[in-house]
Each structure stands twice: as structure tokens, then as C-alpha cells.
Amino acid sequence: MKRYETLFIVQSELSSDDITAIIDRYSKIITDMKGTVLKVERWGKRKLAYLIRKQSRGFYILIDFAGKREIVAEVERILKFDDKVLKYMSVKLVDSITAEEIEKVLAGQKAAAEAAAEPPAVIKPASAAAAAAPAPEATTEG
């Protein structure tokens, strides 16, 4: 197996549900062809460097996956005919990736997601801590 990432730009006016459906569609293609989706990132709406199909903005999506070259060919074939997709690009990241490395990447992402889900610790501001602390005793000499 090799590790790839595919970055594609979809029309910016699509709803969140449409974008989720697109991501699910391409993730399903990868998993149906015996690939493993390692990461999906939504980069959000950004201004394009130049007009693409009369669009000045696009929504960027990155899918990082492991699989065979045939998966990339199939994903790109379908991306080419998808009217909602403005541009796409696939890049090979690693020539060979083992199942252990895939599990390590997935476990690291799971741990990061769990850490992000925990509520942050409450830290009192310095001024509030000073107000709560007892006032020092006043001493007068003289």
C-alpha cells in the first residue's frame, strides 16, 4: 500500500450537508476499493488565486488515505465528472506504508480527538486570584 492525499475544491455556495455528502461519497469509494481513510480535513472557504468556472471562492477539502494506485485513478475519474468539484489534485506521500503504521496514525488521531473533546481547565485570571487572596497585614513602623 501507498499513502496518498487528495485535495479538492468544491463550490463555495454548497451547504454543509452537501459537503458532508461529497466527503462521504469519496471516502466510501476509497474504503470499497480496500483502502483506508486516515484523515479528512475541511479547510473551509478560501479565495481562489484565479477564477475557476466563473467562481472566485471555493471550499477546500483534504482526504489522506492509504491504498493502491487504482484507488487514486478511480477517485480522480469520478472527481473529473463531478460538477460540484472545481479542481482536484492527488499526491503520493509515501511509497510504502504498513498496517502497523496505519494503526499508529489512526490511534494518534483518536487520542488527539479525545483530548480536544475534554473541557479545558478553568484558570482564574491573576486579578481574580489576587482579589480572592487575603490582604497582607499592614505594618506601621514608627
Q: State the 10-residue block means of pLDDT for the chain, 142 residues long.
A: 93 93 94 92 93 93 93 93 94 85 80 71 58 58 54
Tally Cβ neighbours within 10 Å of residue 135: 7
What CATH number should be reported for the domain holding residue 35? 3.30.70.60
Tally Cβ neighbours within 10 Å of residue 8: 24
Chain-centre distance for alpha carbon 49: 21
In a domain, 108, yes or no: no
23 contacts 90 by C-beta, under 8 angstroms: no
In a domain, 50, yes or no: yes
pLDDT of the residue at 105: 82
In the DSSP assignment, the letter for residue 133 is S
pLDDT of the residue at 73: 94
pLDDT of the residue at 97: 79
In a domain, 77, yes or no: yes
87 contacts 50 by C-beta, under 8 angstroms: no
In a domain, 120, yes or no: no
In a domain, 131, yes or no: no
pLDDT of the residue at 72: 93
CA distance 134 to 119: 30
In 3-state terms, what secondary structure has residue 25? Answer: helix
In a domain, 37, yes or no: yes
Residue 48: all three cell numbers together:
481562489
In a domain, 58, yes or no: yes
Give the range of the structural domain holding residue 60, as residue numbers without chain letter.
2-94
pLDDT of the residue at 128: 54
Q: Residues 99, 102, 107, 108: is their CA dihedral positive or negative?
A: positive
Count of domains for the chain: 1
CA distance 27 to 15: 18
In a domain, 110, yes or no: no
Q: Which residues pair with 85 in a beta bridge?
A: 10
